[in-house]
Amino acid sequence: MISLDCEGKWGMADDPRILEDDSINRRSLQEAYDMLLRLLQIHQLRATFAVVGLYVAGYERTLEHLNLVKGDTCHESWLKIPKRAMTTGRHSGWFYEDLPLRIANSGYHELASHGFSHLPFCSEGFDESTAMFELASMNDLARDRGWDIESMVFPRNEVKFTNLLTRYGIHRYRLRSGAGGPLVRLSSLISELKLGMKSEAVPTRSGCIPAGVFLNWRSGARRLIPQQVTIERWRNILEHAKENDQVAHIWFHPHNLITGHRQCELVTELLTVSGEFVRRGTLQSSTFKDVQRG
């Protein structure tokens, strides 16, 4: 399984530095997705593309949303930096409206939700009514555009209010692999060196997708992890899945291909290795929908 958290600059909406970062832009995003879709096709791999609603909704819909949430402290706090980007004309990197159509036209991949505004569900002041508003906003967008969205990856993997999902057409979601915080991030970095990683059991609980492992983003201290260590670690997970009839699930952000050191090389090799297992018939490439149908 491959799941992609598609968010552009919305993933860093609470970081003011994103306003000055021009590396993630319309052109670089298109090149990243061009590369991913090409590699997935070559290696006969299917993926679940979880998109932030505003990322694929476009500028006009985003302006409408900014007006709609005026007075809501939780939303206004999260959207303060995006609002500044919109009002100053710095839109590049915030939108990739063509992505849902490209996924649909492939006839191969799944379009899923990554939240409407990427507002984490564990944010301060985020309550049930906020969750309902975010879920309804994504559901309305999907209905208006004719998109089939039944799966979800929670923003920043903050899994909460799962009891509300089916009300808004979401029948499955990716589990969280652990809590957040500096110590967990350090532990995650160290785990990149553990070659004996195992695959995960096929889910038995309806609606739950195995958490998977994060593909090392080669930035900061993470760029010190040798590429071949990451590849060998993933190959071992694939082998374990094959031998134990389990799930090998990896996820990453497409924009990491832009910001990570030689990240394109890493992703190319990772997908090549994954494709070998599929071509041999020892593993099946699946989307969330294939594994869990509610």
The full 3-state SS of 123-135, as one line of letters, equals CCCCCHHHHHHHH
Rounded to two decimals, the pTM is 0.95
* CA proximity to 235, closest of 243, 222, 185, 40: 243
| Amino acid 294: pLDDT | 41
Residues 24/259, Cβ–Cβ less than 8 Å: yes
Q: What are the structure tokens assigned to 75, written together?
A: 């939303």
| Amino acid 149: pLDDT | 97
**Per-residue confidence of the chain (294 residues) as pLDDT tens digits?**
999 999 999 999 999 999 999 999 999 999 999 999 999 999 999 999 999 999 999 999 999 999 999 999 999 999 999 999 999 999 999 999 999 999 999 999 999 999 999 999 999 999 999 999 999 999 999 999 999 999 999 999 999 999 999 999 999 999 997 555 554 565 666 778 778 899 999 887 889 999 999 999 999 989 999 999 999 999 999 999 999 999 999 999 999 999 999 999 999 999 999 999 999 999 999 999 997 544
Place of tokens 């297992």: 277
* CA proximity to 175, closest of 75, 247, 257: 247
Helices and strands counted in the chain (H then E): 12, 8
Indicate the domain borders of the chain: 2-287
| Amino acid 193: pLDDT | 75
Distance of CA 82 to the CA centre of its chain: 19
- Residue 2: phi, psi to the nearest 5? -130, 125
Residues 263/256, Cβ–Cβ less than 8 Å: yes
Kindly give, in sequence order, each residue whose CB lies less than 8 Å from that of residue 268, ignoring residues fewer than 6 positions away: 39
CA angle 7, 111, 35 (to 5 degrees): 65
- Residue 236: phi, psi to the nearest 5? -65, -35
| Amino acid 58: pLDDT | 95
Q: What are the structure tokens assigned to 165, written together?
A: 């999902």
**Within a 10 A sphere around the Cβ of 226, how many other Cβ atoms?**
13
| Amino acid 178: pLDDT | 59
Just give the CATH number of 2-287. Answer: 3.20.20.370
